[in-house]
Amino acid sequence: MRCPFCLAKETRVIETRETGEEITRRRRECLKCKKRFTTYEKIENFSLRVIKKDGSRELFDKEKLRRGILKACEKRPLTQEDIDTIIDSIERTLRKKHSPEVKSSAIGNLVMKHLKKLDSVAYIRFASVYRAFQDIGEFEKEVRLLKTHNNTKSLKKTKRGGL
């Protein structure tokens, strides 16, 4: 690491701190001019490619994922932090698979899994677009399944003593 002040090659690390996921902050001191500076290290991730329904491939776009989730969560009581947590969790899950390609259906299923836990209305909105409901019957069926899921979840909480 070169000193940004005198361009000397010899520096020493004074302090190391993890600042977030996969980012390391290092406080350094130049051995020549004795000035201190900070560097950040981030792991370079491999590029993820998404295999779409038609078989075409495109680079994974975190912002495209964000836009889809934001649309489903419009006028819902979810915070930006909730949405960021969903996006980060999905990306982390995809990268843990160690495969450079992932089907768009896998991403959609992960989004629905997270939204189902957080907000039923956002989940139904996303599912209706993602699954391309053709008629009101498909929509009603999904709402019934969601109600059953939520009732089961409520019963489990009641049995454990929570509400």
pLDDT in tens, 3-37: 999 999 999 999 999 876 678 999 999 999 999 99
Return the closest-CA partner of residue 73 out of 128, 140, 139, 119. 119
pLDDT digits (tens, 9 = 90+) for 120-150: 999 999 988 888 878 888 878 888 888 887 7
Residue 51 has pLDDT above 80, yes or no: yes
Per-residue model confidence as pLDDT tens digits over 113-126: 999 999 999 999 99
Q: What is the pLDDT averaged over residues 80-103?
A: 92
Q: What is the pTM of this model?
A: 0.65
More confident: 51 or 138: 51
Which pLDDT value is given to residue 136?
Answer: 85
Answer with the residue of higher pLDDT: 135 or 94.
94
